[in-house]
Amino acid sequence: MDKKRYFETEAIRIQAERSSHREHSVPVFETSSFIFRNAEEARDIFAETLEGNIYSRFSNPNTDEFIKKMCALEGAEDGIATSSGMAAIFLGFISILRPGDHILASNQIFGTTRLMITQVLSRWGISHSFVIKNEKKIWEDSILPTTKVIFAETPSNPGVELIDLKWICKLAEKHGLYVIIDNCFATPYLQRPIDYGADFVVHSATKYIDGQGRTIAGVILGSKDNIKDVRMFSRIIGPTLSPHTAWLLSKSLETLAIRMERHCSNALQLAKYLESNNQVNWVRYPFLSSHPQYNLARKQMKLGGGIISFELKGGIKRAMRFINALELVSITSNLGDTRSIITHPATTTHSKLTIAERAESGITDGMLRISVGLEHINDLIEDIEQAINKSK
């Protein structure tokens, strides 16, 4: 039996099989198709009685290596690499759901995921409910006879609210439901939802998995049985990850652990600074003792992550002045980058939601989300402080 290695070692040492050239770093297999030794081999690989690559829409040594790493890090058996995080979420839904089924989702989710549920899947007769208040009784009372899947982010975007993974998975098991967890904010370095019983884990690999703002990608992971239908839909629809992007992500995973340590360290120090500033109404960060789910965060997360949400006094006008006064922090809608990023969710990532939907999701007009990067913490605090002062 293979020896179980530490997270950091697996992220670095899992590789595609070396070629006859004995390369140390895996090459990029930029090819659309693969040749067969003979007609019989082609027949057997297409019949799936023999393993082998056919076409890069199906598989490729680079995407295979990336998936193998992600499976090892998340504790999954199988997975599919996709062209974006939204493609991964979509594949998860359509592999499970049929007309007449019902989705039960946390109200605090990414704006585009919410739109997928309300405006795309609803066209196919798939209904939904959002749990407005994250309480166990409300979750259980919201399950319908037609409910098929529970979907949640933990921590959530942008309010960094947590879901009790052990409890939600036991609830799903009790009612015979699937659980899909978006683990984008935490990454497998901070938590592994499959260990608690989640059926699928999805990531926007664009974020911390890449970690440097260079590409768009996604991944969905689970058991071999659960991924079987996902693979079928993926082959037909074709939300394929390119070999080069898969190679890039596999290399990025080599530094995920050390990057997350710094993201979390910086974020905790910045969150403490913000909480001490009298111009700040409130701060949400999982490893702040003031977070309503602090004890749960300490129980199911290794560290608090790299995302902070907060609100300055003065509402939306103050928030806009603050953003415009920043000199170091970037203004963009991405997150998980080496560079710190500021976002105003109400006018950007969640702007397509109605005012009522934003209010239900806890997104105030003055809420700000910071993805804390890897810069020196003193420089980050200095930039935040001068912007707070200038925006008064």
Q: Is residue 1 part of a domain?
A: no
Q: Do 211 and 287 share a domain, yes or no?
A: no
Q: Do 12 and 159 share a domain, yes or no?
A: yes
User: Which of residues 206, 234, 253 is at a domain's end?
Assistant: 253
Q: Which helix (H) or strand (E) holds 20?
A: none
Q: Is residue 275 part of a domain?
A: yes
pLDDT for residue 2: 62
pLDDT for residue 93: 98
Backbone angles phi, psi at 308, to 5 degrees: -125, 135
Q: Do 156 and 182 share a domain, yes or no?
A: yes
Side chain identity, residue 308: I
User: What sign results for the dihedral spanned by CA atoms 220, 224, 230, 236?
Assistant: positive
Q: Do 277 and 379 share a domain, yes or no?
A: yes
Q: In which residue are the tokens 């996604």 written?
A: 218
Q: Which helix (H) or strand (E) holds 368?
A: strand 367-371
Domain that holds residue 239: 7-253
User: Which of residues 191, 225, 253 is at a domain's end?
Assistant: 253
Residue 313, exposed/middle/buried by CB under 10 A (0-12, 13-18, 19+)?
middle
Q: Is residue 220 part of a domain?
A: yes
Q: Is residue 2 part of a domain?
A: no
- Rounded Cα distance between 158 and 301, Å, is 18
pLDDT for residue 69: 98
- Rounded Cα distance between 263 and 307, Å, is 9
pLDDT by position in tens, the chain (length 392)? 467 899 999 999 999 999 888 999 999 999 999 999 999 999 999 999 999 999 999 999 999 999 999 999 999 999 999 999 999 999 999 999 999 999 999 999 998 999 999 999 999 999 999 999 889 999 999 999 999 999 999 999 999 999 999 999 999 999 999 999 999 999 999 999 999 999 999 999 999 999 999 999 999 999 999 999 999 999 999 999 999 999 999 999 999 999 999 999 999 999 999 999 999 999 999 999 999 999 999 999 999 999 999 999 999 999 999 999 999 999 998 999 999 999 999 888 788 878 888 887 788 889 999 999 999 999 999 999 999 999 99
Give the domain CATH number at 346.
3.90.1150.10
User: Which of residues 237, 253, 269 is at a domain's end?
Assistant: 253
Q: Do 106 and 241 share a domain, yes or no?
A: yes
Backbone angles phi, psi at 64, to 5 degrees: -60, -40
Distances (CA, A) of 366 to 59, 212, 280, 374: 45, 27, 11, 25
Backbone angles phi, psi at 309, to 5 degrees: -115, 145
Q: Do 22 and 128 share a domain, yes or no?
A: yes
Distances (CA, A) of 99 to 41, 93, 128, 212, 217: 39, 12, 12, 39, 28
In sequence order, what are the beta bridge partners of 128? 103
Give the domain CATH number at 72.
3.40.640.10
- Rounded Cα distance between 355 and 361, Å, is 10
Q: In which residue are the tokens 């799936």 written?
A: 48
Query: How many domains in the chain?
Result: 2
Considering only CA atoms, which of 300, 377, 370, 365 is closest in space to residue 340? 370
Q: Do 137 and 110 share a domain, yes or no?
A: yes
pLDDT for residue 1: 43
- Rounded Cα distance between 178 and 171, Å, is 10
Q: Do 57 and 193 share a domain, yes or no?
A: yes
Distances (CA, A) of 147 to 13, 128, 151, 245, 375: 41, 8, 11, 36, 45
Backbone angles phi, psi at 283, to 5 degrees: -135, 140
Q: Do 89 and 132 share a domain, yes or no?
A: yes
Question: DSSP secondary-structure letter at 292?
Answer: T
Give counts: helices (H), strands (E), the chain: 16, 12
pLDDT for residue 380: 98
Q: Is residue 276 part of a domain?
A: yes
Taking only the tens place, the pLDDT of each residue in 173-206 is 999 999 999 999 999 999 999 999 999 999 999 9
Q: Do 179 and 71 share a domain, yes or no?
A: yes
Q: Do 135 and 178 share a domain, yes or no?
A: yes
Q: Do 307 and 330 share a domain, yes or no?
A: yes
Strand ordering across the sheet containing 200-204: 78-82, 218-222, 200-204, 178-182, 147-153, 102-106, 127-131
